[in-house]
Chains A and B, each alone.
Chain A
């Protein structure tokens, strides 16, 4: 047993500068991906360095605010104090308090998140059954294959002109674009999920006297869920990425719309805030999905 006095602290392990108990027992570490620590300390260093660099650029007046906004408007050495513009921090505060174009910031954010969630939900509702059908039935596979394979590679954004013509400019149109983005990912994920079920499990269920419905419910569905969940994660990410362009259709509310309108007024600070919000929420969604995955399908990777 290792000497307890030489054990690194829990903090050092969390920061990724010391090996955990498991890794310490390894004899060879280079080339073993599981022996690579999180390196959180260096992540923190990166973030801090970026913010300090931004702060220095602001205080030193190195960047023109039109191209990249100052961290805070009051820190920037304005040639003419009357021409001072807000930076990212003070603009963010004013967006929280007063909103953008009479709409509070949280409402812009909620509108965007709602669109993505709706798009993914509808995509899953339609895509999963279709994917199952394609995986389990040769008629369904034959019928759907040409359509799916033809439409799948078309980026949803290429359909914007048609979507405006068919569905107009309201929520339906924007959600539809996100739905399309999610649909094919979910469909393929469900089909791959069905294909990934081990045939020995299906045979075992049949030999125990299971009916078709029971095989579907108790064998295929649970074993396909990990793939489906991966599909959900991917489609959340893709939809979130498609959002800004979908909100271009007719910008009124939403983070993407806010950025498009701010761009017309050359409010680079608002555009950058939008970028940061999109990045932060995309990150939060990914983290949430990982937690959900561990909680809902604990059998993932153990079948």
Chain B
């Protein structure tokens, strides 16, 4: 309610500027990541979304999920496709009205931390990372995984010099040896692996209970005002996922073009991804309860690590599977 009042003031002050965007929705804006190949990008490139929704769908690339949250707070972005769970948790914990309406992609191996070969750090002497620099996007899934790994390996995270860098920059820093380790997802992670090895493999991370998936999030206003558009968006996504699962080879080239990656890297990364179907997402294993519980776990962990000021008692209210 405070937000609406604030928006009224803003709108009154700059009425002329806002008229065009406020009156009728003439296009929707979707945030996505480059170098992050997802099955629905076939629909993105072939304009299936535009046809099904009946309005223009504009895709805007972002560097990390927090930037997506901020763009959604300003009202310029309606849907974030493949926003990390952690930025979403951070946003909702701070009272931003965002809704989690679906699971975009589940991935464990496509997001990791790589230790530079010269640093000589393995799991056995992970404590040597204290006092060294690690490049990571802060407040993201990648950051969460890093903190969980350090916690598991007995490293005092407060003594590690964490440097805020998005993946592409972090890969450059790691290649120059400016940082002892770098964390990233997608294409930059592949480049990082040329200079070192992973601190923990995806399988080892899953064994200690780290789950990694990206979500589809929307602003509350959009979900309330245009549920029909949102349902169509989710339906097109589900169809694209199903079509891809049936015959991956057929679509990889299109996806690589949309993701801005070469074909080999796209194939490699798509191999690490799984896109749960709408039916699966509604089940217990995803939004039927597991996502809600895991979200709370992530929020509490961030509070315990001193990264987040406070967590909500429950995140159930912001997780809504009814648009699937």
The 5 closest A-B pairs by CB, nearest first: A264-B139, A251-B164, A168-B178, A266-B94, A264-B66
Least CB distance from A276 to B in Å reads 20
B contact set with A: CB distance below 8 Å: 2-3, 5-6, 9, 64, 66, 69-70, 73, 87, 90-91, 94-96, 133, 135, 137-140, 158, 161-165, 169, 172-173, 176, 178-179, 307-310, 312-313
B164: contacting residue among A62, A102, A252, CB under 8 A: A252
Residues on B with beta carbons closer than 8 Å to the beta carbon of A66: 3, 73, 94-96
B176: contacting residue among A64, A168, A260, A267, CB under 8 A: A168
A235 within 8 A of B: no
CA distance A250 to B172 in the complex (A): 11
A30 within 8 A of B: no
CA distance A261 to B137 in the complex (A): 9
Contact in complex: A265, B139 (CB < 8 Å): yes
Contact in complex: A65, B66 (CB < 8 Å): no
Beyond A250-B163, A266-B69, is A261–B6 a contact (Cβ under 8 Å)? no
Residues on B with beta carbons closer than 8 Å to the beta carbon of A251: 138, 163-165
Beyond A102-B158, A250-B173, A261-B138, is A65–B95 a contact (Cβ under 8 Å)? yes
Contact in complex: A168, B96 (CB < 8 Å): no
A5 within 8 A of B: no
A221 within 8 A of B: no
Contact in complex: B5, A264 (CB < 8 Å): no
A contact set with B: CB distance below 8 Å: 61-67, 82-83, 85-86, 102, 164-165, 168-170, 249-252, 257, 260-261, 263-267
Residues on B with beta carbons closer than 8 Å to the beta carbon of A263: 66, 70
Contact in complex: A250, B169 (CB < 8 Å): yes
Contact in complex: A64, B70 (CB < 8 Å): no
Which interface residue of B158, B161, B165 has the most chain A CB atoms within 10 A?
B165
Contact in complex: B307, A265 (CB < 8 Å): yes
Question: Across the two chains, which residue of chain A brings its CB closest to B1?
Answer: A79
Least CB distance from B165 to A in Å reads 5
Residues on B with beta carbons closer than 8 Å to the beta carbon of A64: 2-3, 6, 95
Residues on B with beta carbons closer than 8 Å to the beta carbon of A65: 95
Beyond the given A63-B6, A251-B163, A264-B90, please list 9 additional residue pairs across the A-B interface where CB-CB is below 8 A.
Answer: A62-B6, A82-B313, A85-B94, A168-B178, A169-B178, A252-B162, A263-B70, A264-B137, A267-B309
Contact in complex: B172, A164 (CB < 8 Å): yes
Contact in complex: B90, A265 (CB < 8 Å): yes
Which interface residue of B70, B161, B178 has the most chain A CB atoms within 10 A?
B178
Contact in complex: B70, A265 (CB < 8 Å): no
Residues on A with beta carbons closer than 8 Å to the beta carbon of B91: 266
Residues on A with beta carbons closer than 8 Å to the beta carbon of B162: 252
Contact in complex: B164, A250 (CB < 8 Å): yes
CA distance A263 to B313 in the complex (A): 23
CA distance A63 to B172 in the complex (A): 41
Beyond A250-B169, A265-B90, A265-B307, is A169–B6 a contact (Cβ under 8 Å)? no
Least CB distance from A111 to B in Å reads 13
CA distance A265 to B93 in the complex (A): 9
CA distance A170 to B176 in the complex (A): 11
